[in-house]
């Protein structure tokens, strides 16, 4: 549309013609473009997984209602991503007065500069076309954000140079909000914004008006305002001024993935896994993806971890990337193909986990690394229980009980691991339950064996030293079995599906 219109006169004629461009507010524009997408059955907010029946319908209703809205949710719930997705609902381009800092509409300019230009140049005024991605302004709220940052300031030097009074509009230095005019303004973590600035926002939501340093500069901005906040901060008394809250049309709650399948789909989409390590293939066993995801689910339910700040979905994403990197490193050193991550690689990925949660006091006592280790072990236990619940593992446990030990290193090659594992009666054969025959590619088989050993370790049927030596579980703690069950459960909460069995 824009390409054929170059001047104000052409725009005026196009807009008055039967098929012309109608002048509309940002909220109408977004609403009408959304209606188009709904009618065409298009996927709304592509790439946002697991919100189809919860968040997205509420979001659609807020937009159809022409509301300014807020997303309430914990970290890593795709809030910012949803807000950026609103860009898709803007027109491809809109006409603006070239060079105007607040993207004035040539037909209805707000600022003094543009009004003067339109008066002087009339229909010959050239136009610029503003693409939609430049119409989204995002600001992370912090307590030190000032009115000058947000709304603007008077520039005394500019005034002096031009010989203008300070109250003259031409002396203004615009803040983020006026610069977002005719677009979407997103403020993340609204509760961190000082009360004074919240009042400023309220004025804009109320009147569409800004005032700068008390000067009666009236700018009727056209904006869609959207926010995010942590739900507890938002509802805490005194964090958000009531009139501002009252002006936010809809509050929409986001959430973490409700199912492991959704979570795995998100991680699969976001994690950087399409690597070309020296031409080697990457094969991630399904149980490994499940365990990485289960860590986040365990973490969100863990009482040592602060529930108010949440456990970001970035946790499984960075974890899986790090797991794959450890496998990549091993494959390069042992010259193996394909690259197959192992469960023990997850322990090497602890640096990708510890920054993704805040600890409660009890967790601080235990230490972030240990909390992460406990989470991994619990996750392995849960997935192992799902896969091996009805599988007889007694022969393997007996082998260790008879004094057998197995020493495996982080960088042991697949061939080496399997060679050692073959000494243990029935161990390699258990991989059959993961769909792997004994002639499967060694890296896959080695990963399966590693999973089984780690699963038995997670279920405390065998023990493992820090140096990754596997041996029998402590005898006195395994006999009699009843006592064992209580004493072990104290130290490691196992999911109910991970019921332990003892084979003595
Ligand atoms: Zn202007």
Q: What are the pLDDT tens digits along the chain (504 aa)?
A: 556 889 999 988 887 765 545 678 999 999 999 999 999 999 999 999 999 999 999 999 999 999 999 999 998 999 999 999 999 999 999 999 999 999 999 998 988 889 999 999 999 999 999 999 999 999 999 888 888 888 888 777 776 776 666 556 667 788 898 999 999 999 999 999 988 888 888 887 887 777 776 666 677 889 999 999 999 888 887 788 888 888 899 999 999 999 999 999 999 999 999 887 678 899 999 999 999 999 999 999 999 999 888 999 999 999 999 999 999 999 999 999 999 999 999 999 999 999 999 999 999 999 999 999 999 999 999 999 999 988 999 999 999 999 988 988 878 899 999 999 999 989 999 999 999 987 899 999 999 999 999 999 999 999 988 777 888 887 544 444 443 333 333 444 444 333 332 222
Q: How many residues does the chain have?
A: 504
Q: What is the Å distance from ligand 1's center to 101 Cα?
A: 6
Nearest to 106 by CA among 7, 220, 1, 13: 7
Angle between helices 442-458 and 394-401 in degrees, nearest 10: 70
CA distance 360 to 303: 8
Q: What is the Å distance from ligand 1's center to 126 Cα?
A: 13
Q: Please tell me whether the peptide bond between 280 and the residue prior to it is cis, using omega within 30 degrees of 0.
A: no
What pTM was estimated for this model as a whole? 0.84
CA distance 393 to 330: 28
Terminal C-alpha separation, the chain: 79
The tokens describing 115, both together, are: 């009004």
188 contacts: CB under 8 Å, gap ≥ 6: 79, 80, 138, 139, 140, 141, 227, 228
Q: What is the Å distance from ligand 1's center to 129 Cα?
A: 14
CA distance 296 to 317: 10
Q: What is the Å distance from ligand 1's center to 32 Cα?
A: 26
Q: What is the Å distance from ligand 1's center to 122 Cα?
A: 15
CA distance 422 to 52: 48
Q: What is the Å distance from ligand 1's center to 114 Cα?
A: 4
Q: What is the Å distance from ligand 1's center to 372 Cα?
A: 54
């Amino acid at each position: 549309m824009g390409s054929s219109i170059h001047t104000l006169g052409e725009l005026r004629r196009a807009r008055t013609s039967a098929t012309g461009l109608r002048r509309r507010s940002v909220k109408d524009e977004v609403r009408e473009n959304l209606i188009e997408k709904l009618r065409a059955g298009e996927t709304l907010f592509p790439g946002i997984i697991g919100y189809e029946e919860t968040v997205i319908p509420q979001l659609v209703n807020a937009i159809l209602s022409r509301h300014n809205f807020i997303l309430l949710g914990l970290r890593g719930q795709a809030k910012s991503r949803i807000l950026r997705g609103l860009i898709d609902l803007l027109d491809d381009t809109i006409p603006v007065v070239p060079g105007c800092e607040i993207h004035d509409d040539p037909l209805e300019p707000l600022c003094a500069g543009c009004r003067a230009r339109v008066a002087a140049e009339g229909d010959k005024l050239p136009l610029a076309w503003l693409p939609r991605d430049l119409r989204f302004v995002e600001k992370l709220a912090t307590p030190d954000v000032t009115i000058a940052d947000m709304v603007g300031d008077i520039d005394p030097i500019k005034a002096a140079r031009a010989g203008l009074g300070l109250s003259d509009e031409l002396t203004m230095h615009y803040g983020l909000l006026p610069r977002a005019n005719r677009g979407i303004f997103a403020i993340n973590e609204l509760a961190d914004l000082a009360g004074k600035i919240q009042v400023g926002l309220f004025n804009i939501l109320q009147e569409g008006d800004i005032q700068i340093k008390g000067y009666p500069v009236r700018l009727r901005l056209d904006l869609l305002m959207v926010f995010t906040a942590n739900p507890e901060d938002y509802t805490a008394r005194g964090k958000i001024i009531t009139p501002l809250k009252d002006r936010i049309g809809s509050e929409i709650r986001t959430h973490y993935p409700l199912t492991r399948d959704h979570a795995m789909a998100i991680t699969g989409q976001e994690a950087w896994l399409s690597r070309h390590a020296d031409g080697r293939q990457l094969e991630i066993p399904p149980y490994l993806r499940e365990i990485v995801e289960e860590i986040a689910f365990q973490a969100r339910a863990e009482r040592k971890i602060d529930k108010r700040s949440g456990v970001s979905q970035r946790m499984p994403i960075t974890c899986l990337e790090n797991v794959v990197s450890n496998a990549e490193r091993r494959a390069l050193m042992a010259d193996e193909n394909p690259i197959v991550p192992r469960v023990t690689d997850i322990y090497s990925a602890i640096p990708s986990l510890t920054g993704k949660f805040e600890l409660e006091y009890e967790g601080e006592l235990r230490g972030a690394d240990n909390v992460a280790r406990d989470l991994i072990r619990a996750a392995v236990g849960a997935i192992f229980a799902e896969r091996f619940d009805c599988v007889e593992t007694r022969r393997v446990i007996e082998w260790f009980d008879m004094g057998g030990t197995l020493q495996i290193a982080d960088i042991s090659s697949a061939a080496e691991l399997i060679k050692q594992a073959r000494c243990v009666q029935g161990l390699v054969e258990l991989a059959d339950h993961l769909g792997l025959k004994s002639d499967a590619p060694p890296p896959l088989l080695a990963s399966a064996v590693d999973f089984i050993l780690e699963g038995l370790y997670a279920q405390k049927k065998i023990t493992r030293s820090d140096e990754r030596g596997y041996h029998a579980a402590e005898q006195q703690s395994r006999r009699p079995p009843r006592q064992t069950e209580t004493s072990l459960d104290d130290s490691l909460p196992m999911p109910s599906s991970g019921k332990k069995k003892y084979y003595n």
